[in-house]
Amino acid sequence: MSRSAFLAIDLGAESGRAILGCLDDRLSIEEIHRFANGPVRVGEQLHWDVLHLWNEIQTGLRLAAEYNKEGLTAIGIDTWGVDYGLLDSADRLLGNPYHYRDARTNGMIEAACEIVPREEIYNQTGIQFMQLNTLFQLFAMRRKNDPTLDMASAFLTIPDLFNFWLTGRKANEFTIATTTQCFNSREKRWADEMLTALEIPGHIFQPIIQPGTVLEQVRPWLADEAACGGTQVVAVGCHDTASAVAAVPAKSEDFIYISSGTWSLIGIEARQPIINSASLKYNLTNEGGVGGTIRFLKNIMGMWLLQESRREWSHAGKNYSYDELTRLAAEAPALKSLICPGDNSFLAPGIMVRRIQQFCQKSSQPIPQSEGEVVRCILESLALEYRWSTEKLRELSGKPLSVIHIIGGGSRNRLLNQFTADATGCTVVAGPVEAAAIGNIIVQAIALGQVASLAEGRALILDSFDVSTFQPANRQVWEDAYGRYLQLRRSEFVQRS
């Protein structure tokens, strides 16, 4: 195998990375550039600073070309889902894209379902109901008579937008398109009839392309500035979870994955969407995957709870590292207080510690006081929510699913990994950490003929990166805790989308 260099731009809700992957007999990666990301408040609205991100992408491209003097073979971009930019007829961006946590979608699920019944929306899209979904963002624009919706000529998700700026080609990549809840998963097309009923203009949506599509070379002006002439742009699994799942170093097809980051996405790979009354009841989702797969999963609030708590403590002058917080949690009392991570009270930024304490007070549990108690409450509750999701995935797939692969940044949290094994009774395999970037690189390599298949790519990943294994323990203690957790989930005060 000849040596090739691939640049993965991996944009998360908290930070972005430019990671160079060099491929010969093994895959090695090098972080070239890292930069901050996050919401920007303007008045009452939350936005993304996409021009900042675009500038950082160009910086990453330039630095990668400088670092690898032999040249870049390709570049691929993956990001979070659901958010988007709208272009006018001259391909100009119509305002800063909204952040999915913006409050304008409050009440939009209920309002939309008065027009198109909930069951019909799910039957067409197979997508979990969350108020942050693109469908409800666009519907909120219509309900508020936002003029930019009528001015729009093209709808591009965030990675589609950056791919357009890189190449001049407009398209909607499959894995990210499916996150919008505007896509008919059964018929693999935009859900035109539903969109029409909700007065969302169907003409703005672009042709669907599959992950692994080679778009164009980097635009000439950018190639000159970044000294990266001849670099191909590949539409990878543009949803970061699709790229991350492509990097699961599994030896068989029957496994559960948890892509652990700001969000925890727990699911399986399926060949067809699983859309029925049970999957609707459990609010499970069918999103596009790499290699003709469907990511059948549950979207859980995830490390967002810890990130926001840490940010709150930092503002108070307590600058803990994640490792320090994990150590404090390990020293705190076990299974003392629990929360439901999916409760809507945890969705918005700010005062996360107070919200966790209020949840515990409302549910007549001991109120966590110290930083260690709060973090342990978060991690144990996440593990128990993983247990609930694991049971539902087994039920709907009909498979035993005894191995869980945890990938992404959250896989570094060894305490949560052990809690997950204890709570679920599964063997947990943790790693690789930079799964989204690694999967991004593997899809580029497959697209350009450097790797033969996804299976070959996963074997290459297993050979190239270390993983850690965790076995379940303390089963009875966690069984008792799970009974308490189920009672919490059924409580009237738990508010879910």
Active site residues: 240
Cα distance between residue 11 and residue 34, in whole Å: 10
Helices (H), 398-467: 414-424, 435-447, 454-464
**Which three-class secondary structure string do you get for 168-221?**
CCCCEEHHHHHHHCCEECCCCEECHHHHHHCCCCHHHCCCEECCCEEEEECCHH
Phi/psi at 448 (nearest 5 deg)?
A: -100, 15
Cα distance between residue 182 and residue 136, in whole Å: 9
**CA distances (Å), 67 to each of 18, 77, 131, 148, 255, in order?**
12, 19, 42, 41, 37
First-to-final CA distance of the chain: 49
Q: Does residue 22 sit in helix, strand or coil?
A: strand
Cα distance between residue 412 and residue 250, in whole Å: 18
391 near 278, Cβ under 8 Å?
A: no
What does DSSP say about strands 45-47 and 40-42: parallel, antiparallel, or unpaired?
antiparallel
Cα distance between residue 8 and residue 61, in whole Å: 9
In the DSSP assignment, the letter for residue 203 is: G
Q: Does residue 232 sit in helix, strand or coil?
A: strand
What does DSSP say about strands 15-23 and 4-11: parallel, antiparallel, or unpaired?
antiparallel
With tokens 């969109």, the residue in question is 195
Which pair of structure tokens corresponds to residue 493?
A: 């005060």
Identify which of 262, 360, 353, 361 has the alpha carbon closest to the alpha carbon of residue 316: 353
Identify which of 410, 413, 392 has the alpha carbon closest to the alpha carbon of residue 401: 392
**CA of residue 280 relative to chain centroid, distance:** 20
The H or E element spanning position 374 is helix 371-397
32 near 18, Cβ under 8 Å?
A: yes
Cis status, amide bond into 147, omega within 30 of 0: no
**CA distances (Å), 404 to each of 18, 270, 470, in order?**
28, 15, 10
The H or E element spanning position 213 is strand 213-217
